[in-house]
Amino acid sequence: MQHVSVMKDEVIELLSVHSNEHYIDATLGAGGYSEAILSLNGPRGHVLAFELDTDSIRHAEDKFDQYGKRFIIQRSNFRHMKDIVDSMQFHDIAGIVFDFGLSMDLIKSSGRGFSFMEEAPLDMRFDTEQELDADTIINYWSEKEIADTLFTLGEERYSRRIAKNICEDRKKIPIHTTSALVAQIERSVPAPYRHRRVHCATKTFQALRMAVNDELGALKEGIEGAFAVLKPGGRIVTVTFHSHEDRIVKNCFRDWKKQNKGTLITKKPLVPSDEECAKNPASRSAKLRCIQKT
């Protein structure tokens, strides 16, 4: 597992981890945050982690075996946090962390088509048991649905042109692989757009992944559920990676502040240091926010 937890020191400091307190890692991944919390909240503090990827779960079970019952994994989307926490009677939660970035391990080794750099089927599901995948969107959604998705979630300026070509060509040959989709995108955009520093398929792949996994819907439900189960004085820390995510978090935190339900610990989002960005370029767009429940 090669994923590096972004702004880990800042996250742990803002969570204000104490011994014997309970925490939730809503986006386990490679377990960087969970590991740091478990090293500080013993001997009776627990960490409840949410994860959908089976490989990440197996890795975590081995990695955290030494902590015994102090570490608990739920194979579930964090959008179901409140229901699961209530059913488990996992109370007195002092802090919850969300890292909304896509794990580099998932990009590089899942074989589910998250990266346009790797040849793979058009899948993009975090939860492989759900029905909707990227192949379904590309081959069965209408031209308007595809164009709107690419524009709204990916902010892709050539969304209509890309969607039009996809729908024309899929009538002849279905588009089932990452390379086939990239070829469609490259054919649909102007030459200068193809030769920018950022690959011309980046925004389309981002939009498809977000649509397949309903990432923005899950984010809002997850944040609201987290605030509901958090004990007074507890904190939520979020790490977002693009404007859609950050806007939802910012609005939720602002509303809770206006309602006198929470105090903003970060008035403005924190960003990674130059040193961290140099070591981990994937962290460059990260924004960290924190709120404390009143």
Q: Give me the pLDDT at residue 280, please.
A: 86
Q: What is the mean pLDDT of the chain?
A: 94
Residue 221 has pLDDT above 60, yes or no: yes
Cα–Cα dist 256/264, whole Å = 9
- Condensed to tens digits (0 to 9), the pLDDT of residues 47-91 reads 999 998 888 899 899 999 999 999 999 999 999 999 999 999 999
- Total H helices, total E strands in the chain: 14, 7
- Condensed to tens digits (0 to 9), the pLDDT of residues 93-109 reads 999 999 998 776 667 76
Cα–Cα dist 270/135, whole Å = 37
For domain 128-212, give the fold.
DNA polymerase; domain 1 (1.10.150)
- Condensed to tens digits (0 to 9), the pLDDT of residues 154-165 reads 999 999 999 999
Q: How confident is the model at residue 131 (pLDDT cuts 50, 70, 90)?
A: very high
User: What are the domain boundaries of the chain?
Assistant: 8-105+215-293, 128-212
Average pLDDT, integer, range 275-280: 90
Residue 265 has pLDDT above 70, yes or no: yes
**Higher per-residue pLDDT: 284 or 290:** 290
Average pLDDT, integer, range 34-48: 97
Q: Give me the pLDDT at residue 105, please.
A: 66
Average pLDDT, integer, range 242-254: 95
Could you tell me the CATH superfamily of domain 8-105+215-293? Answer: Vaccinia Virus protein VP39 (3.40.50.150)
Q: How confident is the model at residue 2 (pLDDT cuts 50, 70, 90)?
A: low
Average pLDDT, integer, range 203-222: 96
Residue 1 has pLDDT above 60, yes or no: no
